[in-house]
């Protein structure tokens, strides 16, 4: 996964590291190491902070300059696959997981109070999640159950479903 912000680019992968490069200094990199699983997604909150999701079932908020963990968000029961930051509010993000859930987080609670919301309904791994660009209250998910869904944080529920539902094959 790769993400850019200002004059920086970040990437992560099977080495369990999130690496941030400054574009004007490509030979210098900041490596952030704390995850015990692959990095599935990284998103800049600002030029000072970045968020990562991992196969270790967690999301971590990092201080880029020091490479220090600021907060860890650990409620998923399986690989955390993707995350999205709320438009115009970098304090709120969503994560999705192989555990078939989507969680809404607020970094101001520093992970201590847990997720703000947990949304369920998919019958397979949830592989991607993205806020809608409108007002930041709705987001979409896609799953191995063959559906894409739209959720609204204000009503705590699914508001639309697309595709044909396929049951999960756990054999």
Q: By the 8 A CB rule, do 80 and 54 touch?
A: yes
Q: What local confidence, expressed as pLDDT, does residue 165 receive?
A: 74
Residue 2's pLDDT band, with cuts at 50, 70 and 90, is: low
CA distance 166 to 23: 44
Q: Tell me how far apart the alpha carbons of residues 74 and 114 are, in angstroms, rounded to a whole number.
A: 8
> Exposed e or buried b for every residue in 13-31, given b needs 16+ CB within 10 A?
eeebbbbbbbeeeeeeebe
pLDDT at 169: 63
Question: Has residue 3 got a pLDDT over 60?
Answer: no
Q: What pLDDT score was predicted for residue 82?
A: 97
pLDDT band at 155 (very low <50, low <70, confident <90, very high): very high
Exposed, middle or buried: residue 112 (CB in 10 Å: 0-12, 13-18, 19+)?
exposed
Sign of the C-alpha dihedral computed for residues 22, 104, 92 and 154 taken in this order: positive
* Strands 148-152 vs 138-143: parallel, antiparallel or unpaired: antiparallel
Per-residue pLDDT for 73 more than 90?
yes
**What integer pLDDT is reported at residue 164 of this predicted model?**
84
pLDDT, residue 112, reads 64
Given a cut of 90, is residue 23 above it in pLDDT?
no
Query: Model pTM?
Result: 0.88
Please list, in sequence order, all residues whose beta carbon lies within 8 angstroms of the beta carbon of residue 170, skipping any fewer than 6 positions away: none
Return the closest-CA partner of residue 157 out of 119, 112, 115.
Answer: 119
**Separation between Cα atoms, residue 63 and residue 2, nearest integer Å:** 18
Answer whether residue 1 shows pLDDT above 70.
no
Per-residue confidence (pLDDT) for residue 144, from 0 to 100: 95
Least confident of 8-12, 28-32, 51-55, 111-115: 111-115
Higher pLDDT, 154 or 3: 154
């Amino acid at each position: 996964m790769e993400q850019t912000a200002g004059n920086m680019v970040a990437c992560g992968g099977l080495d369990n590291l999130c690496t941030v490069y400054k574009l004007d200094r490509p030979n210098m990199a900041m490596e952030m190491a704390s995850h015990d699983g692959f990095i599935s997604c990284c998103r800049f909150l600002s030029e000072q902070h970045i968020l990562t999701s991992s196969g270790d079932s967690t999301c971590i908020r990092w201080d880029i300059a020091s490479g220090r963990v600021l907060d860890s968000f650990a409620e998923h029961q399986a690989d955390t696959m993707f995350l999205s930051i709320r438009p115009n509010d970098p304090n709120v993000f969503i994560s999705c997981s192989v555990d078939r859930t989507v969680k809404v987080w607020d970094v101001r609670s520093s992970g201590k109070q847990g997720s703000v919301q947990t949304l369920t309904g998919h019958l397979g791994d949830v592989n991607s999640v993205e806020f809608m660009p409108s007002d930041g209250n709705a987001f979409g998910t896609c799953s191995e159950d063959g559906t894409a869904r739209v959720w609204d944080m204000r009503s705590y529920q699914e508001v639309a479903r697309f595709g044909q539902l396929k049951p999960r094959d756990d054999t």
